[in-house]
A = this chain, B = another copy of it.
Amino acid sequence: MPASPPARKAARSTTAAPQREAATRDADKTRLNILEAAEAEFAAKGLAGARVDVVAEEAGANKRMIYYYFGSKEDLYLAVLERVYTDMRVAEAELALEAMAPLAAITCLAEFKFDYPAQHPHLIPLLNSENLLGGEYLRRSLRLREMQISLIARLEAILARGAADGTLRAGIDPLHLYLTISAVSYFYFSNNPTLSTAFGRDLATPDERAARRRHVVDVVTRYIERV
């Protein structure tokens, strides 16, 4: 016996309003629903483990729509990755570091690199998946490069400012500083499950997180401060 057609929301024909109702048809909404469902699915299961049918169901869309809008599972994965990665870079670019004192600017960046993955929990699983795949999808994408490089240039300027006013040491490599700032936060989030197991202590509690955040700022501060 063929399944009865699924219940549909009644179509509101009040089409005058510019902000669209969730009507029977809304291409942009369908596309966005798919993208968001895919972000959760790929973050949770990785590229190989993710199921296209699950994405479709979670998005409330037909599986065919994924292929209609994104072409393939891999292209959908790439679209998700680009979106998440770009969002992070944009947020990073919007930090008003230039308006701050050098030491404050660097600690602000460190706090941002800690808080952002905490507030966007899909980011790290997606980046980890991508690194397991050798980074080939992100490499295939890019316009991203310039954003990142410009951040290093900004860091370099801040470090120079700090060296000039005597608050920071001279000779700090901005790229390695950036890697270290990223690392001390990223590792805490990405490896939290195995670390918690190894130490027999839940490292994901609010208290542990706050303690880690303080430690991260402390490590960065001691590395750059003039003594």
Contact = CB atoms under 8 A, between A and B. Distances in A.
A177 to B, nearest CB: 8
Contacts of A193: 130-131, 133-136, 138-139
A193 B219 CA distance: 25
Given A187-B186, A191-B127, A219 B223 contact: yes
Interface residues of A, number: 54
Interface of A: 45-49, 125, 127-136, 138-139, 142, 144-145, 148-149, 152, 173, 175-176, 179-180, 182-184, 186-188, 190-200, 211-212, 215, 218-219, 222-223, 227
20 contacts: A125-B132, A128-B132, A129-B132, A131-B191, A131-B192, A135-B194, A138-B197, A138-B198, A139-B197, A142-B197, A144-B197, A145-B197, A148-B199, A149-B200, A175-B199, A179-B195, A180-B184, A183-B186, A190-B190, A223-B223
